[in-house]
Amino acid sequence: MDAHAPGKHQQQQQTAFRQSEKLYSRRDKPLDLRNIIDFNDPDTLCARVAGVSRIQLTHDLETPPSLPFEAYRAKRLPAYALEAHPGLMIIPDALTDEAQRWLARKCLCDCARPPNRTNLDPFFEMPEESLFTLAHTPSSQRVAENLSEAPRTIHSRVESGSVQTDVTVPRSKAYTQAETPERLLGHLRWCTLGQQYNWTTKNYDLGTSPFDPDLNALMKSIALAITHPSTAANNLPYDANAFDGRLFCSQAGIVNYYGSRTTMAGHVDKTEETMDAPLISLSIGLSCIYLVGGPTRDTSPAAMYLRSGDILAMCGESRLAFHGVPRVFSDTCPLYLASPKAGVDDAEAANYPDWCHFGSYLANHRINCNARKCS
């Protein structure tokens, strides 16, 4: 008998959410994809066996005036709700190629730098520039400060390998270890936006960075569009989002960077004082499986694909639902992002001179950018 295999008792004790996480994260067997909701597949959606309902946006997805491109593929895109998970809303493939490129650049170059915090801050003296920018700036073009070191290195404040759950205070200054931006970029997992979240105290008590105004405008335009969608056609017994989007503003957010083997364990985002406003979440790069359950881990979660360009909103009851990402799929990044030539042939080519670097990153990563109203 395999000493590490869970016994029958242990299996029974595993919550429904944990069982799904294990099912979809295992790599020793081919995945059973049959129960995953696929918003690209009309057959799954029409069958209604999965409890998916099409809902109607009653407001347009309007590109914020500050953005010099169309952000949405259309103003009234199909949106979906899950009957068993009231308040969860998905607008698949909503962001234009251009908006996705813009968002990738925003998340990699503008968001992941001070004063926003990253998972690496407790361990490294982080530079002013983002790791992505530094990693892809030819040394001859790096600012004078950086020219003295070749290759540029970033110094660790703690022994590498001693990553603790207490991420707020460096435990020791005894060790220094130099790392290059290129190597550290591979370890970038998240950065926090606006009110800085403290994973140790589970509070927003690490100060506030300005929330990027264009990113806020994009999030707000989504909040406006998803206000009171029409569910009448499906007789859904609830309002999928009763929050008036005019009152939305992004006060905090997280950008998550996933490699193809990164997962995010099930959790609830419940630090915000107000849970009335939707949590708005955008995906770019590789596809993933997203699980959404209920108020405890005992609710069996629904599994769905999230793909590049999808908008997901957790509104109403689902704002307090367990959710997580047990699986990211390699080789699923759309060509308009992954190809080094992406952006070269379209009208906006001039905005993407170095797209090859973004393309190689996105070909192997998923980026999730989410925003919340906290009070």
Ligand X SMILES: O=C(O)CCC(=O)C(=O)O
Q: Which residue from 123, 211, 290, 358 is in contact with ligand X, where contact means CB under 6 A?
A: 290
Q: Which residue from 117, 323, 365, 372 is in contact with ligand X, where contact means CB under 6 A?
A: 323
Residue with Cβ nearer ligand X (88 or 158): 88
CB of 323 to ligand X, least distance (A): 5
Q: Is 20 in the site for ligand X (CB under 6 A)?
A: no
Q: Is 119 in the site for ligand X (CB under 6 A)?
A: no
Residue with Cβ nearer ligand X (134 or 191): 191
Residue with Cβ nearer ligand X (241 or 308): 308
Residue with Cβ nearer ligand X (243 or 290): 290
Structure tokens at 111: 């968001």
Q: Is 256 in the site for ligand X (CB under 6 A)?
A: yes
Residue with Cβ nearer ligand X (85 or 152): 85
Residues within the annotated binding site for Fe cation?
267, 269, 323
Buried/exposed code over 65-104 (b: 16+ C-beta within 10 A; e: otherwise): eeeeeebbbeeebbbbbbbbbbbbbbbbbbbbbbbbbbbb
Distance of CA 237 to the CA centre of its chain: 29
Q: Is 368 in the site for ligand X (CB under 6 A)?
A: yes
DSSP states of 175-233 as a string? Answer: ---EE-HHHHHTT--EEEEEBPPBTTTTBS-S-BPPPPHHHHHHHHHHHHHTSS-B-GG
Q: Are 172 and 159 in contact (CB under 8 A)?
A: yes
What is the spatial distance between Cα 309 and Cα 94, in angstroms, rounded to a whole number?
A: 6
Q: Which residue from 269, 293, 305, 313 is in contact with ligand X, where contact means CB under 6 A?
A: 269
Q: Is 219 in the site for ligand X (CB under 6 A)?
A: no
Q: What angle do CA 106, 116, 307 make, to 5 degrees?
A: 40
CB of 306 to ligand X, least distance (A): 6
Which backbone phi and psi does 348 adopt, to 5 degrees?
A: -100, 15
Q: Is 254 in the site for ligand X (CB under 6 A)?
A: yes
Nearest CA-CA partner of 210 in 255, 274, 253, 271: 253
Q: Is 304 in the site for ligand X (CB under 6 A)?
A: no
Site residues, ligand X (CB under 6 A) = 254, 256, 264, 269, 281, 290, 323, 325, 368, 370
